[in-house]
Chains A and B, each alone.
Chain A
Amino acid sequence: MGVGGRITAEAQLALRSFLRRRTAVFFTFAFPAIIVLIFGVLIQVGPAAGGLFSEPPSYYVAGYLAVVVLFTPLSRLGSTVARHRDSNRFVLLAVGPMSRLEWLIAHTLVTAAIVLVAAALLLVLVTGVTPVGLPSAAGAGLVALAVAIGAVAFGALGALIGSLTRSTDGVIAAANALALPLLFLSETFIPPALLPAWFAPAMALSPLTYVVRPIRLVTVEGVVDPLGLVPIAAVMLLALFAAARVLPRL
């Protein structure tokens, strides 16, 4: 069976485990819906809204998707690592034939699948409550790819945080401390023109920016640019290998 079989077995275990945690399932899908309802329905973003939210509604779709791409993988993988460490499950991993990279790939793939489902529901919700249409098939494919790559990248970063912090509380605090600034300073909801010019290079350093930009090209301009995914794909590979190296052995 080999590597594929081991990854499949671990992924099945992770997915079953997630689906039976009803609270986690509920909030995974409820959280992005709340964001859409606040921004899309309550604030009614658009040129008429003025202030921070005066871009056309389609501009913010990438931001809504960024919420699921960022928060769910970061907190999910971080807490998974903390839970595995507290339960001594990494000892089995260290002794058995499955490598830490295989384990990480399995868990990030499951997270990517969950995030893709959440993103699809979110898109449907957005088209239902805001005047935004669905992208073309090619555009939808690129959006799905961006979401999946972003989810794996931030999942690996979550695993990195989970490995470096010593408690579950620490994981949540560190994940939030990273996610909140990233969410608002990655060309998600606040247009770069509204921020000081000296801050622009910092936005270019955020991996989330490279999830948002190709998605926004699709939703605002209808342009499909696969090469725009290269930076986030590189981040994903780097994060996967770095996290696999530091995953706990005990």
Chain B
Amino acid sequence: MQPAVALTDVSHHYGEVTALQEVSLAVAEGSVLAIVGPNGAGKTTLVRAIAGVIDPNGQVAIDGAAAAQVDRRRIGILPQAFTPARRLTPRELIRHHAARYDAHPDPAAVLGRVGLGVGELDRPYERLSGGQQRRVCVAMAIAHDPTLLLLDEPTAGIDPAGRRALWAELERIREAGTTMVITSHSFAEVDRLADQVCILDAGRVLAADAPAALIETVAGGHRLEVTPAPASLPPVAPTAEVVDGRLRLADCDLETAAAVLRWLAETDATPRRISWDRSSLADVYAMLTEAP
């Protein structure tokens, strides 16, 4: 089946700075690709390349066609640091923005989908809280029912309850068949929404796969952590490392964990906390981007 979005050897430079370096990715129709990476990794540039806002080297295809030839009504986008007309109300912003796409949704219904209360519909945008403003921006991106949704840090600045409400709405949108590309610094968000995760650093794809596959292949099943790290590394676990003052052992099975604990008991170490947890995307991210 043809992917909804396909990038082949996509590179982009801002002057001397390399923002993207031979990025190749495919996003299946109706699935969610989450792009994670440190600040300046190239996430926003990647979203812009897919949106057709920049003209990178390499190929960007949407449903097999070049990005520039796609019907623009199909795409919805939320830029990272976006502010609409500040003196307009959410109701007016949705109405006017959707009209640019020849769409005429009920603004109250669209804003309700992102959890904006009736009391906020007619209050000027500039008088809403930061979280409410971000929800209005998300609502603008989805107002014309796009089939490809590009969201650059959609829940930045939104409180936990609002974030969960927005995730539920994004799940509903995905179930309706919309393909989504999101960038995020929240692993809770990525865990909940993503079918595929791309870890980007310095414009390069470090890893891209389904979350479970990434965890399995990069971080292994479980992770052992000892805080603070003992003075020396355990000889029974040659792959152990010290990260941020903690002893960390990735892909650590129960037998190895027990051996490390026995070794610890024989040393003068006085750990404050010992944990043996299932590995997560955060571990994968840390292993790939924070390697010493």
B-binding residues in A (CB < 8 A): 1-2, 5-6, 8-10, 12-13, 16-17, 20-21, 87-89, 91-92, 94-98, 249-250
Contacts and interface: CB of A to CB of B under 8 A. Distances in A.
A249 B79 contact: no
B230 interface: no
A2 B102 contact: yes
Contact of B77 (A1, A12, A91): A91
Interface string B222-243: 0000000000000000000000
Contact of B48 (A2, A8, A96, A250): A250
Nearest first, the 5 closest Cβ-Cβ pairs linking A and B are A9-B99, A20-B87, A87-B83, A13-B96, A88-B79
B56 interface: no
A107 to B, nearest CB: 12
Contact of B79 (A10, A13, A92, A98): A92
B123 to A, nearest CB: 13
Interface in B67-115: 71-73, 75, 77, 79-85, 87-88, 92, 96-97, 99-102
Given A88-B83, A89-B82, A97 B53 contact: no
A95 B72 contact: yes
B83 A6 contact: no
Given A17-B87, A87-B82, A9 B52 contact: no
Contacts, number: 79
Contacts of B81: 88
Contacts of A16: 85, 87-88, 92
B221 interface: no
Given A92-B77, A95-B77, A250-B48, A87 B84 contact: yes
A88 B101 CA distance: 18
B85 A13 contact: yes
B131 interface: no
Interface residues of B, number: 29
Given A91-B51, A94-B53, A95-B51, 6 more contacts: A5-B99, A9-B96, A10-B100, A89-B82, A92-B77, A94-B51
A215 to B, nearest CB: 33
Contacts of A94: 51-53
A6 B52 contact: no
Contacts of B87: 16-17, 20-21
Contacts of A9: 96, 99-100
Interface string B191-231: 00000000000000000000000000000000000000000
B53 A10 contact: no
Contacts of B92: 13, 16
30 contacts: A1-B99, A1-B102, A6-B99, A6-B100, A9-B99, A12-B96, A13-B85, A16-B92, A17-B85, A17-B88, A21-B87, A87-B84, A88-B79, A91-B48, A91-B51, A91-B53, A92-B77, A92-B97, A94-B51, A94-B52, A94-B53, A95-B51, A95-B52, A95-B75, A95-B77, A95-B150, A96-B100, A97-B100, A249-B53, A249-B54
